Structure 1
């Protein structure tokens, strides 16, 4: 395959899947990681896609752009792992929790499979899969049902109805963006209603958001900053953002990714 043909195929793959990792592209096209990175550099320079750590996503996303699960998984992987590890310290045996859709909540799920007696409610297909494959027999997993989004969330009236009947000790929420003006946001209008139901079901709301989410604004808000009891992010968060969040969030935790 000629370089131009490969680059066209890479662009189509990224646009179709919502993103791709360097390692996946290298295996798919039978070339080295370095060759793929050069291809991504060229495509990025032309404004055709956006390079992220470990891969690429479609370029110039707007407030309604919703990346696919694979695209999100390629971004800030170390930060998400550390955020998830910190979040796991909040969960004890016999707790009733909810995990929203998101790549960071999937990281968290993998750290909770050995906690005894958990009841886990989720609208995330990947989160449910983690518990179904590796969970304990004394754990209960409830998958809400609903309409599937590009990020593998289940949303809509079915999901909302299931969540609104519940009372949960902790809800762990992944977010698309956060800002002082807009609060916590999502690019999916239907997911916003589902996330709002999770917020209302929570005795304690824990938001998991790496520092790149600051000043990213999706089309729909579902919670104010002050509704989060705990917010776990990474030390890449700028000082002005730390000051703003400290004014709203009682328990602001920053993990060190370096």
Structure 2
């Protein structure tokens, strides 16, 4: 960790969270010494991170939140986590899209943010298993907000998950018959050991179908997804072409990811 006294609160909290996850827990006095800030500042940071649900406060410090691997938060619950990071990721991911592309967007709050940044890209064909993503395009058309050519949007059928994704045999059949230039994939968790994972077994199969139908796979996930493992793994890191993330991902983790993923794009920074 750094002794920089001028760290922004968001950067400082990202460092704290990374340390908690890496070491399995930290003490307040260690953080005040390493970050050269007051005891009160660290406690406010821990309070903020605890409200986000990404760590648990204990006497004198904090420990990681350990959730059941089958726990699947709803869309609204996830949408309030890391909103600025998700928007930065969405903006960087949108820069990878050229007019006329056939692309797929999986379910998730980050792909939902990405959809809003794609409204002005002309002549897109968008396939999605996300009710929320499809609504972004449909509502923009109704409101007359699409200025340079409306996207053609295909919403798969399927069974709706708590995160408003459509999964299951109906969705899988529709996806298998299609071919995408580009897939933007939101994930529940990412790690070297478990790869990409989700707490929903049916969603794991649908995500596998999406990946097999795409020429290029781009994961869009903020730094808090690193180290999280859901019930079902559906791909290894080596099957990902590009990961678009935010600056909260630590340098050590970036190096680890780079050993498996050819392209690492950190929103707001130079492409690695």
Aligned to 2:30: none
Q: Residue 51 of structure 2 aligns with which residue?
A: 51
Partner of 1:111: 117
Could you list the runs of 5+ residues in structure 2 that have no partner in the other structure?
A: 1-45, 54-64
Matches within 5 A, 1:68-217: 68-135=74-141, 136=146, 138-217=150-229
Instruction: Tell me the TM-score normalized by structure 2.
Output: 0.72
Give CA-to-partner distance per residue, 1:142-198, whole Å, 9 cap, x none: 000100000000000000000000110000000000000000110100000000000
Count matched residues: 207
Distance (Å, rounded) in 1 between the aligned partners of 2:184 and 2:95? 12
Secondary structure class of the residue paired with 1:152: coil
Task: Note the 1:202-241 alignment, pairs <5 A.
Answer: 202-241=214-253
Q: 1:24 — aligned with what?
A: none
> Match of 2:59?
none
Question: Structure 1, unaligned stretches of length 5 or more?
Answer: 1-43, 54-58
In structure 2, what is the Cα distance between the partners aligned to 1:139 and 1:65?
A: 34
TM normalised by structure 1 equals: 0.76
Deviation at 1:239, TM superposition (A): 2.1
Task: Look up the SS of the partner of 2:181 in the other structure.
Answer: strand
Higher alpha-carbon deviation: 127-136 or 187-196? 127-136
Matched, 1:249 2:261: yes
CA positional deviation for 1:222: 1.0
